[in-house]
């Protein structure tokens, strides 16, 4: 039976007791307890996260779960879908923030439109809105516009019952060590939803944003300087390569879809540009501009100039990724 409340805010967390406890308290302070559920899944944190969260158990709209072992981000996210009892689910990382006005607007808006996914606007730490997220008016998301709306989806709204169908496929990809399933299961979920003719929309609602004091991306050092570690380079390459294989698989599975021609164009463009995509892999910078691998390498080398062993390892690993990318030039 569907819960009478409309939205569950789902927060997977790991080893960040202070972050998640503060976030839950903020959500409770919205005083919307009769309209929203709060669901937190602790991914077997080694610290006192679960014990701290248990202090909220007396609230009738807060549910706290702890995984028996660390099952990773993707399985924790899928567990959120399975535990959700309301019609809609909002995925919220434990170091991000929701705005009360945004939630209130969303609660009024959702009953007016039959949708399976909504991408609201999301604010970056510099006060600007995330490029590609949300829109200036409510509109349906095209297949080609989907990547910008779903790669990283804090604050996005899902109709839980409509999207559970993709769980088996995502887990299959995860078991095959697919980096796309590991880093961006939302991309798989929403592409499959679109190809199954579900209703995906973007919206001008400003629902939340990144918390300024939140966790730093891996490509930023504590001082905010720009460089890209080998893990970032390797992950970027593997993710884009995973996208190539995913598109090919979708073309096979959805060969009779009305969107197959659009998907074919999208897939071909991705394959042709895979080398350039990797060569221009985004490296976070102060002015939010992309840096090429070469620029990233130079910055990384300068940072490690007094550590020749680390610099040499950085060079070798950089060249490995570069050579891999040449296969797709």
Tell whether 204 and 285 lie within a shared domain: no
Any domain includes 203: yes
Q: The CATH number of the domain where 140 resides is what? A: 3.90.550.10
**Cβ 83 vs Cβ 91: under 8 Å:** no
End-to-end Cα spacing for the chain: 52
Tell whether 130 and 195 lie within a shared domain: yes
Long-range contacts of 294-301 (CB under 8 A, 24+ apart): 296/226, 296/227, 296/228, 296/233, 297/228, 299/225, 299/226, 299/227, 299/228, 300/227, 300/228, 300/229
CB atoms < 10 A from the CB of 47, how many? 13
Supply the pLDDT for residue 128.
63
User: Which residues face 121 on adjacent strands?
Assistant: 206
Tell whether 313 and 281 lie within a shared domain: yes
> What confidence tens digit (pLDDT) does each residue in 86-140 have?
999 999 989 889 999 999 999 999 999 999 999 999 887 666 666 667 888 999 9
Q: Which residues contact 93 (CB under 8 A, 6 or more apart)?
A: 11, 12, 154, 214
**Residue that wins the pLDDT comparison between 234 and 77:** 77
Tell whether 76 and 119 lie within a shared domain: yes
Of 302, 297, 298, the closest CA to residue 317 belongs to 297
Supply the pLDDT for residue 274.
57
Any domain includes 26: yes
**Cβ 123 vs Cβ 129: under 8 Å:** yes
Residue 235 pLDDT class (50, 70, 90 cuts) = low
Residue 27 pLDDT class (50, 70, 90 cuts) = very high
Tell whether 200 and 236 lie within a shared domain: no
**Residue that wins the pLDDT comparison between 24 and 280:** 24
Residue the block writes with tokens 């202090």: 55
- The residue segments making up the domain with residue 203 are 7-210
Tell whether 235 and 133 lie within a shared domain: no
Average pLDDT, the chain: 78
Q: Which residues contact 184 (CB under 8 A, 6 or more apart)?
A: 150, 151, 152, 239
C-alpha to C-alpha distance for 65 and 40, rounded to whole angstroms: 6
What would the mean pLDDT of 6-20 be, rounded to a whole number?
A: 93
pLDDT greater than 90 at residue 28: yes
Residue 295 pLDDT class (50, 70, 90 cuts) = very low
**Residue that wins the pLDDT comparison between 186 and 273:** 186
Any domain includes 223: no
pLDDT greater than 70 at residue 233: no
C-alpha to C-alpha distance for 201 and 320, rounded to whole angstroms: 40
Supply the pLDDT for residue 244.
82
pLDDT greater than 60 at residue 218: no
Return the HEC string of the chain.
CCCCCCEEEEEEECCCHHHHHHHHHHHHHCCCCCCEEEEEEECCCCCCHHHHHHHHCCCCCEEEEECCCCCHHHHHHHHHHHHCCCCEEEECCCCEEECHHHHHHHHHHHHHCCCCEEEEEEECCCCCECCCCCCCCCEECCCCCHHHHHCCCCCCEEEHHHHHHHHHHHHHHHHCCCHHHHHCHHHHHHHHHHHCCCCEEEEEEEEEEECCCCCCCCCECCCCCECCCHHHHHHHHHHHHHHHHHHHHHHHHCCCCCCHHHHHHHHHHHHHCHHHHHHCCCCCCCCCCCCCHHHHHHHHHHHCCCCHHHHHHHHHHHHHHHHHHHCCC
Q: Which residues contact 253 (CB under 8 A, 6 or more apart)?
A: 195
pLDDT greater than 60 at residue 49: yes
> What confidence tens digit (pLDDT) does each residue in 115-130 have?
999 999 988 766 666 6
C-alpha to C-alpha distance for 200 and 56, rounded to whole angstroms: 34
**Residue that wins the pLDDT comparison between 213 and 163:** 163
Tell whether 94 and 187 lie within a shared domain: yes
Lowest mean pLDDT among 9-23, 242-256, 257-271: 257-271
Supply the pLDDT for residue 281.
43
Percent of the chain past pLDDT 90, that is, above it, reads 44
Supply the pLDDT for residue 297.
46
pLDDT greater than 70 at residue 177: yes
Any domain includes 1: no
pLDDT greater than 80 at residue 266: no
Any domain includes 83: yes
What would the mean pLDDT of 47-67 be, rounded to a whole number?
A: 94
Any domain includes 137: yes
Any domain includes 58: yes
**Residue that wins the pLDDT comparison between 39 and 213:** 39
Provide the domain count of the chain: 2
């Amino acid at each position: 039976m569907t819960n009478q409340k409309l939205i569950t805010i789902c927060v997977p967390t790991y080893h960040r007791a202070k972050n998640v406890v503060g976030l839950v308290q903020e959500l409770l302070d919205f005083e919307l307890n009769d309209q929203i559920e709060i669901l937190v899944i602790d991914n077997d944190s080694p610290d006192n996260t679960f014990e701290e969260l248990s202090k909220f158990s007396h609230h009738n709209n807060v549910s706290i779960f702890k995984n028996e072992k660390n099952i990773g981000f993707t399985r924790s996210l899928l567990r959120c879908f399975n535990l959700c009892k309301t019609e809609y689910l909002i995925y919220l990382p434990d170091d991000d923030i929701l705005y009360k006005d945004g939630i209130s607007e969303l609660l009024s808006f959702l009953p007016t439109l039959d949708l399976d996914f909504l991408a609201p606007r999301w604010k970056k730490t510099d006060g600007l809105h995330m490029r590609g997220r949300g829109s200036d008016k409510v509109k349906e998301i095209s297949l080609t516009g989907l990547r910008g709306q779903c790669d990283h989806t804090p604050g996005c709204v899902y109709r839980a019952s409509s999207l559970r169908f993709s769980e088996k496929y995502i887990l299959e990809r995860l078991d095959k060590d697919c980096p796309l399933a590991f880093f961006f299961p939302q991309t798989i979920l929403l592409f499959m939803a679109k190809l199954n003719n579900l209703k995906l929309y973007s919206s001008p609602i400003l629902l939340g944003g990144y918390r300024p004091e939140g966790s730093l991306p891996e490509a930023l050092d504590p001082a905010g300087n720009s460089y890209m570690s080998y893990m970032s380079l390797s992950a970027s390459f593997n993710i884009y390569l995973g996208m190539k294989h995913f598109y090919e698989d979708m073309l096979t599975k959805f060969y009779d879809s009305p969107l197959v021609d659009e998907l074919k164009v999208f897939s071909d463009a991705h394959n042709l540009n895979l080398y350039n995509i990797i060569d221009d892999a985004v490296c976070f910078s102060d002015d939010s501009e992309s840096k090429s691998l070469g620029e990233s390498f130079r910055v990384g080398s300068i940072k490690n100039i007094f550590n020749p062993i680390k610099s040499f390892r950085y060079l070798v690993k950089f060249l490995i990724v570069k050579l891999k990318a040449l296969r797709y030039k």
